[in-house]
Structure 1
Amino acid sequence: MAPSRSTPAKLTSRTQATLNGFFNPPNSSSTRVSKWSPPTKSQSQSKGAVPTGSDRVLTDVLLAIKPVHLANIASGQKNHEFRKYRLRDAVTRLWLYETGDGGKGRASITHIAVIPASVRHTPGSVPTEPFGIGNTDFNGGLKESKYGYPVLELYELVRPVSLAEMKNQWGMGGAPMGWRYVRTDLWEDSWGEDQDRAQKVIRVF
Structure 2
Amino acid sequence: MAPSRCKLTSRTQATLDGFFNQPNSSSTRISKKSPAAKSKYQSKSKSAVPTGSDRVLTDVLLAIKPVHLANIASRQKNHEYRKYRLRDAVTRLWLYETGDGGKGRASITHIAVIPASVRHTPGSVPTEPFGIGNTDFNAGLKESKYGYPVLELYELFRPVTLAEMKSQWGMGGAPMGWRYVKTDLWEDRWGDDQERAVKVNWVF
**TM-score, normalising length from structure 1?**
0.81
What per-residue deviation string (whole Å, max 9, x for no partner) do you get for residues 132-170 of structure 1?
Answer: 000000000000000000000000000000000000000
Q: From the superposition, tell whether residues 95 and 178 of structure 1 become closer, same or farther in structure 2 (CA, over 3 Å).
A: same
Counterpart secondary structure, 2:165? helix
Structure 1 residues 1-205: aligned runs within 5 Å: 9-10=2-3, 16-17=15-16, 19-25=39-45, 27=47, 31-34=50-53, 55-205=54-204
Q: What's the offset of the Cα at 1:180?
A: 0.1
> Where does the alignment leave 5 or more consecutive residues of structure 1 unmatched?
1-7, 35-54
Q: Percent identity?
A: 80
Is the 1:64–1:175 contact (alpha carbons within 8 Å) kept by the matching residues of 2?
yes
Is the 1:120–1:149 contact (alpha carbons within 8 Å) kept by the matching residues of 2?
yes
Q: What's the offset of the Cα at 1:9?
A: 4.8
RMSD: 2.0
What per-residue deviation string (whole Å, max 9, x for no partner) do you get for residues 153-203 of structure 1?
Answer: 000000000000000000000000000000000000000000000000000
**TM-score, normalising length from structure 2?**
0.82
Question: Which residue of structure 1 aligns with residue 34 of structure 2?
Answer: none
Q: From the superposition, tell whether residues 11 and 135 of structure 1 become closer, same or farther in structure 2 (CA, over 3 Å).
A: farther
Which of the pair has more CA radius of gyration?
1
